[in-house]
Structure 1
Amino acid sequence: MLMGDILELNATKYPDKVALITDEGREFTFAELRDRSNRLANALTGLAATGDRIAILAENIVEYVDAYYGVPTANMALVFLNYRLNPHELAWIVNDANAKVLLIERHYLDAMLAVRDQFPKVEHIVVIGDASGLSGVSGYDALTAAASAAPLPRPTEDDIAWQLYTSGTTGRPKGAMLSHRSLITALLNAIIAYDVRQTDSHLYSFPMCHVAGYLITQHHLMGASVVLQRAFEAGKWLEHVEKYGCTTGGLAPTMMNFVLQHPKLDEHDTDTMRSLLYGAAAMPVELLKRAIERFGPVVCSGFGMTELGGNVLYHPKSDHVRATQGEEHLLAACGVPMAFAAVKVVDENMNECPPREVGEIVVKGEQLLKGYWNRAEATEEAFKGGWFHTGDMAWRDEEGFFYIVDRMKDMIITGGENVYSREVEEVIYVHTGVSEAAIIGLPDEVWGERVVAVVAMKQGIGGGDAVSAEIIKICRERLAGYKCPKQVFFIGELPKNVSGKILKRELRDQFAG
C-alpha cells in the first residue's frame, strides 16, 4: 500500500465525506483532497525528477495535506521544514537534502530569499498564498490548477515518501528517510492500538512539520475526518472540540498544561472527546492526574520518535483507568509494544535486561526508517546489532510495561552515581506553583557533575530564594541526597523544539557559566 492510496481508497468509498476542516472553517471532501494531491503530484513531475526531494515550509494548512500525499505520489520525498528554526538553519536543511523544489508560505518567503545563496540546489520556489507581483517564483494555486488530476505511475512501497529531520537536540539534525512501507506500517500499528474509527473527528494540533502528522494520515486511512488547527492555541482548541464534536485529539504536555490552565476551560463542552492522546515529550505525573480528573478516562499515550515513523509502544485508556483505581505507578509507564513492533531493553552488550533493570530501548519492525540521508556511518551506528538504538533509557516491569527514565545523553553522573532527570522532575512537579521543570547536569570540580533544576513557575507566581528552598526541601523529602538539585534557576519559559521536547543542551549552555 502507498501513501496516495489512502485518499484514493476513501475517495472511492466516501467521495462526498468531509475529510478536512481547516482552522478558518474551509471544508474538503476525500474526493477533493485526492484531486488536489494528484494535481500537485502531476505539477511536480514538470519541476523535478523521480526520487528528488521537495521541501515545504508552512504552518498547518490544506496545502501541507496536499504535500503529505502528493509528493510521495509523484515518487519524490517530502522534506519537512520546522518553521520555528531561523532562516540559516532552514537553509542548511534544504541544502543538505538537495531539495529541488521549495514549497513555501508567502509570509516566510522574504526571510528565506535573504539567505537564497545558502541553498543554491533549489531550482524552483513555489509560493503558497498571494504570489502576484513576485518574480522568479511560481504560485501554488496557478501551478496546481493547470495540472492534471489523473493518476501517475505507482512508486514501490520501499521508495522514500517522507524525509524528516531529527530535532537536533544534541547536534546537527539528520534526515530520517521513511518509505511508504514504513509509514503505512506505523499507521496500521496506531489504528489497532488506539481504536481509530471511521466515525471519528480528530482535532490535530501538533505542527505538521513533526512526525505527529501521522495522526492525520491514520485517521484518513480509516475514512475519518480531521479538524486542523493552523497553530495550537488552547482557547481555540476548546472551541473546536465543542463546535465540531471532536472525538479524538492529541496534545504535548505543554499544550495540555495550557488547556488545563485556560480560564474558560469549564465553559466548554468536551464530552465528545473519547480518546485524548498525549505524547511528544515526557508527561509529568501530576499534570496527567489533572488531565484525567478534567477529561475523564479518555487519555492514552505512546512512545515513538521521528526515526520510527510514529509510535512503537502504546499505553491505552484501560491502563490509565487501572491507574486511577489504585495502580498509580502505571501513570509513569509509556506502554507495551504495538502489534507490528519488536521492542526490548538491552545492556551495553545487547543482552536483554531482566525486569526493573535500566538499559536502552531498541526496536525492530517495518516502520523503522530506511536510514539517515547521506549519513552511512550514523545509520550503521543506529542499527548496531541489527536493532535500532533509540538512545532512550528505560526499564520494564513484570507485566511488560516500559518506563522511560532518561535520554542517554541527558543522564547525569555525579560522584559516580547515575541520576535520571525525569525521576527528579516528577518530584519537583509536586510543588503546586511549578509550571515546567528540567533537570540538567553542570560541570563540578568535586563531583564531576552537579544536579541543577531549571524551573518556570505558573503565571502570577514568582520564584526566588524562598521558592528555591521549598523545591529543594520537597526533593530531599522524597529522593536520595545525591539526586537532589544543588541549585534552582528560574526562567520565564523553557526552550523547546517543535515537538515540545525541552532543549536541555541550550539550558546547559545558558547556565554553565
Structure 2
Amino acid sequence: MSGETIGARLPALALADPARPALVCDGEVLDRAGLCARVAGLAGWLQARTAPGASIALALANSPALVELFMACAVSGREALVYDPAWPPATRAALAAAVAPDLTLAQQPAVSGSGINPSPSWPAPPSPDAPFYVGFTSGTTGLPKGYRRGHRSWIDSFHVSAAAFGLGSQDVILAPGGLAASLHLYGVVHALHVGACAVMMRHFNPEHVFALIVRHGVTALYATPTQLQMLIRMGEGARFPTVRALMISGAKWQPGTRAATHALFPNARIFEFYGASETSFITIGHPADAVPEGSVGRPAPGVTLAIRDGEGNDVPAGETGTIWVASSMLFDGYACGGSGEMRRDGGFMSVGDRGWRDAAGFLFLAGREKRMLVTSGQNVYPEEIEAALAGLPGIEEAAVFGVNDALRGVRLVAVLRGAPVAGEGRVDEAGLRAALRPLLAAYKIPRRFLCLDDWPRTSGGKVDLPALQRRAETQLAQERGAA
C-alpha cells in the first residue's frame, strides 16, 4: 500500500463494475467507466503538452470537469493547483505570477475518452513521493498561501478515513462545499480512489443537499460547522436516516448543535476532527470515545502529538503550550506565501496552534499564535472568547478582533451573528458583559460588541476572518465619524 498513488485504482474499479455511479454533481451522474475514460483521455492530453512534474492551474468552477482534470493531473504525474473561483482578478493575477504554472485551464479541453481497459493509454504511476496538489488558504493579509501535497500524504490520510470513520467502497459520500477547500476536495477524491460514490454540488444549498441525500442514499457527509448550522435551520423536523457518518471540521461547533444534529441525522455517528492544511488529520473526536466537552479528541491513527514550551521542552498534562505533530501525512512545503508560524523539528512540525492535553490524552485548543492579542499587558486568544460567546443563548457565531488602543495596546471587539438586543434594537452590550463575567477574566471581556448578520465566507464555507474584521473596522469608523 505504501507505494500507491492517487487515482491508480480507477481502471480496476471500472473493470470490476463499469456501470456503478462514481461521481454525482447535482443532476449529473458519471459511472466508473465514463470517469476512467475521461481521466485517461485528459491525462494523455496533458502528457502531450507538458513535461512530467508540470504544474497545472485549474481555474474552473465547481464541476465534474474540475474533478476529472484534478484526477488526470494526479495519475499523469502532474501537479494540480486548485484556484478559488471567488478570487478577484487581481488576486488571481498576483498568484499566477507567484506560482508560475506551466499551464492554466479555465475549462475542460475537448478530449475523446479512451477505453477502460488498462493499456498504454493509461499513464505509468508517478512516484508516491511526487507532489500532486497545491491548495490555497486565505492569509490574514496579502497573497493566499499555497501548500504542496505529495501522493503518500493523502494515501496515508485515506487509511485514517477508513480506520477511524469506517468509510469504504460501499459508501455514498457527500462533500457539498467548493473543491477549492481541501476538506471537500479530499472527500471527493477519497471516495473516487476507494470506489465509493462521490457526490458534490456546484453551489452549496441546504435544500439541494437534502435532495441529494434522499435521491442517492448518501451514507457519509463532510461538513463545516457553518454548513451544519444551515442544514439544521433549513431541515427542522426532517430526518435523514441513510447518513451513518458525519465528519465535521473547520472550527469548533456550538455546544447546543449536537442534539439538533442527531435529530436531523438520527443514525449518524458524529466525528469531529482537527487538523490543518499542512498536517491533514491531527486528532479525531470519536463518538465511542466519550470526548470531554471542549476537546477535539485524541491523536488520529499514526499521529504522534507533543505539547512544548517556548524552549522546546514537553509540558505536563494540563499545561498550555505549542502543538507539535509527527506523521506521514504532513505536507511537503509551501508553493507560495509561506507561514511564519510553521516550524519543523526533526520529524515534528507545528503550524503555531496552542493547546493542552488532559490526563487521558484528550486535546483542547487554546488558539493560534498568529491570532494572539496583547491587551492591558495580558496575552489573549480570541478563540477562547469566541467559544464563550457562542455558548450564550441566541448567538449563532462569534468572532473577536483587536483594534488599536492607546491605553490597552489593543481593544477587544466582538462581532456577533445573532445577538440579544436591548432598547431600539441595539446589541445588549451590558447583558453580554454580565453573562461573560462568570466565564472569562475581566481583561478578556470585549469592550465593544457589533452585530453583523451577513458574514463573509470562504468558498469552503468557513468564516473569512480578514474580510469580517475589515467590515467591523469600517462600522467602528462610521460610528466615530457620526459621533
Tell whether the structures are fold-level matches, with TM greater than 0.5: yes
Aligned AA for 1:8?
P
Please list the CA deviations of residues 242-301 of structure 1 after superposition, one character each: whole Å capped at 9, or x if unmatched.
222211101111111111111x532x4401111111112232223344324543462111
Give the unaligned 5+ runs of structure 2: 478-483
Aligned AA for 2:296?
C
- Tell me what 1:251 maps to: 223
Provide the alpha-carbon RMSD of the alignment.
2.6
- Tell me what 1:283 maps to: 253
Q: 1:361 to 1:170 in 2, by over 3 A?
A: farther
- SS state at 2:352 partner: strand
- Measure how far apart 1:446 and its partner are: 2.0
- Tell me what 2:84 maps to: 82
**Equivalent pair of 2:91/2:143 in contact (CA under 8 Å):** no
**Equivalent pair of 2:7/2:193 in contact (CA under 8 Å):** no
Quote the Cα distance in structure 2 between the aligned partners of 1:342 and 1:490. Answer: 41
Give the unaligned 5+ runs of structure 1: 105-126, 129-139, 324-329
Instruction: Indicate yes or no: 2:470 matched with 1:493.
Output: no
Quote the Cα distance in structure 1 between the aligned partners of 2:13 and 2:408. Answer: 60
Q: 1:56 to 1:458 in 2, by over 3 A?
A: farther
**Equivalent pair of 1:497/1:503 in contact (CA under 8 Å):** yes
**Equivalent pair of 2:7/2:75 in contact (CA under 8 Å):** yes
- Tell me what 2:173 maps to: 202
- Tell me what 1:346 maps to: 308
Q: 1:500 to 1:353 in 2, by over 3 A?
A: farther
- Tell me what 1:475 maps to: 436
Please list the CA deviations of residues 437-491 of structure 1 after superposition, one character each: whole Å capped at 9, or x if unmatched.
1012222222222222111227999994353332222112332212211110121
Please list the CA deviations of residues 403-462 of structure 1 after superposition, one character each: whole Å capped at 9, or x if unmatched.
112121112222232322222222222333322210122222222222221112279999
- SS state at 1:241 partner: helix
Instruction: Indicate yes or no: 2:193 matched with 1:221.
Output: yes
Instruction: Indicate yes or no: 2:408 matched with 1:447.
Output: yes
Aligned AA for 1:210?
A
- Measure how far apart 1:5 and its partner are: 0.8
Please list the CA deviations of residues 41-68 of structure 1 after superposition, one character each: whole Å capped at 9, or x if unmatched.
1001222221111111223311122122
**Equivalent pair of 1:188/1:218 in contact (CA under 8 Å):** no
- SS state at 1:4 partner: coil
Aligned AA for 2:112?
A
Please list the CA deviations of residues 344-374 of structure 1 after superposition, one character each: whole Å capped at 9, or x if unmatched.
2222222222112111222222221111126
- SS state at 1:5 partner: coil
- Measure how far apart 1:93 and its partner are: 1.9
- SS state at 1:67 partner: helix
Equivalent positions of 1:452-463 (< 5 A) are 452-457=413-418
Aligned AA for 2:459?
V
Please list the CA deviations of residues 195-229 of structure 1 after superposition, one character each: whole Å capped at 9, or x if unmatched.
10322111111211121111122223332112212
Instruction: Indicate yes or no: 2:51 matched with 1:14.
Output: no
Please list the CA deviations of residues 9-62 of structure 1 after superposition, one character each: whole Å capped at 9, or x if unmatched.
4224333321112212x2222222122111111001222221111111223311
Quote the Cα distance in structure 1 between the aligned partners of 2:112 and 2:193. Answer: 26
Indicate which of 303, 306, 318 corresponds to 2:277: 306
**Equivalent pair of 2:321/2:354 in contact (CA under 8 Å):** yes
- Tell me what 2:481 maps to: none
- Tell me what 2:240 maps to: 270
Quote the Cα distance in structure 1 between the aligned partners of 2:313 and 2:15. Answer: 49
Mean CA deviation greater in 398-407 or 171-180: 171-180
- SS state at 1:494 partner: coil
- Tell me what 2:58 maps to: 56
Aligned AA for 1:6?
R
- Tell me what 1:358 maps to: 320
Q: 1:417 to 1:47 in 2, by over 3 A?
A: same
Aligned AA for 1:343?
L
- SS state at 2:256 partner: helix
**Equivalent pair of 1:355/1:398 in contact (CA under 8 Å):** yes
- SS state at 1:406 partner: strand
Quote the Cα distance in structure 1 between the aligned partners of 2:421 and 2:411. Answer: 30
- SS state at 2:102 partner: strand
- Tell me what 1:434 maps to: 395
- SS state at 2:318 partner: coil
Quote the Cα distance in structure 1 between the aligned partners of 2:37 and 2:102. Answer: 23
Instruction: Indicate yes or no: 2:2 matched with 1:31.
Output: no
Equivalent positions of 1:149-228 (< 5 A) are 150-212=121-183, 213-228=185-200
Q: 1:243 to 1:154 in 2, by over 3 A?
A: closer
- SS state at 1:99 partner: coil
Quote the Cα distance in structure 1 between the aligned partners of 2:274 and 2:190. Answer: 16
Identity, % of aligned pairs? 25
- TM-score under structure 1 length normalisation: 0.84
Mean CA deviation greater in 168-177 or 289-298: 289-298
- SS state at 1:156 partner: coil
Aligned AA for 1:280?
G
Q: 1:288 to 1:83 in 2, by over 3 A?
A: farther
Instruction: Indicate yes or no: 2:378 matched with 1:417.
Output: yes
Mean CA deviation greater in 269-278 or 501-510: 501-510
Quote the Cα distance in structure 1 between the aligned partners of 2:423 and 2:217. Answer: 38
- Tell me what 1:132 maps to: none
Q: 1:6 to 1:343 in 2, by over 3 A?
A: farther
Quote the Cα distance in structure 2 between the aligned partners of 1:102 and 1:462. Answer: 55
Quote the Cα distance in structure 2 between the aligned partners of 1:191 and 1:383. Answer: 28
Q: 1:199 to 1:242 in 2, by over 3 A?
A: same
Indicate which of 95, 112, 116 corresponds to 1:145: 112
- Measure how far apart 1:332 and its partner are: 1.7
Mean CA deviation greater in 293-302 or 178-187: 293-302
Quote the Cα distance in structure 1 between the aligned partners of 2:427 and 2:90. Answer: 42
- Tell me what 1:137 maps to: none
**Equivalent pair of 1:182/1:366 in contact (CA under 8 Å):** yes
- Tell me what 1:118 maps to: none
- TM-score under structure 2 length normalisation: 0.89
- SS state at 1:145 partner: coil
Quote the Cα distance in structure 2 between the aligned partners of 1:256 and 1:481. Answer: 32
Q: 1:282 to 1:350 in 2, by over 3 A?
A: same
**Equivalent pair of 1:238/1:265 in contact (CA under 8 Å):** no
Equivalent positions of 1:128-139 (< 5 A) are 128=108
Higher helix content, 1 or 2: 1
Quote the Cα distance in structure 2 between the aligned partners of 1:450 and 1:429. Answer: 20
Q: 1:315 to 1:91 in 2, by over 3 A?
A: same
